[in-house]
Amino acid sequence: RLFEVDSMQVKYWVAMYSRYGEEGLRMRTKYYPGDFKYKVLCDLFENQLTLFATALKYGIPSPSTVLMWKRKYEATGLCGLYEGKQLWTESMATEKKNPIKQETGASEANNKETRDLLREINFLKAENAYLKKLRALVQERIARENQKGRQPSGN
């Protein structure tokens, strides 16, 4: 109360310290790839974990980060988890080195086309990851059901 910090936040800090030591409390800005976000959300849904438990399990600094991913996933699907961070491409590095470059209309069209293609590649990668995960989950479920069917009855 002295520092006007939410009690749940303090509990989370204590849990992070208990699990990861001082490293768990260090401030870090980290980019999480879409595959990682998807893995975290799958664990959250499949094991019916709380946001608190999920964030703690994966060392995510705040449960609200997981909530944000969950809302984005519910609103936009798997592709939403892959948005936000642009790929660092060779053309971006060149643009940074030569910021005062005169571009013609043709090269601007090429840049737009390249950006569109990169966007489409990212979408297709996300779709592919989603389909692979879906296939794995279906195979897991079938294996579990087959396993249950083979178990002898308790009679």
Q: Has residue 111 got a pLDDT over 80?
A: no
pLDDT tens digits for range 24-51: 666 565 778 888 888 999 999 988 998 8
Residue numbers of the domain that contains 55: 30-85
pTM: 0.46
Q: How far is CA 153 from CA 142, 146, 148, in A?
A: 20, 14, 10
Domain count along the chain: 1
Q: Is residue 102 part of a domain?
A: no
63 belongs to a structural domain: yes
154 inside domain: no
**In-domain check, residue 25:** no
22 within a domain of the structure (yes/no): no
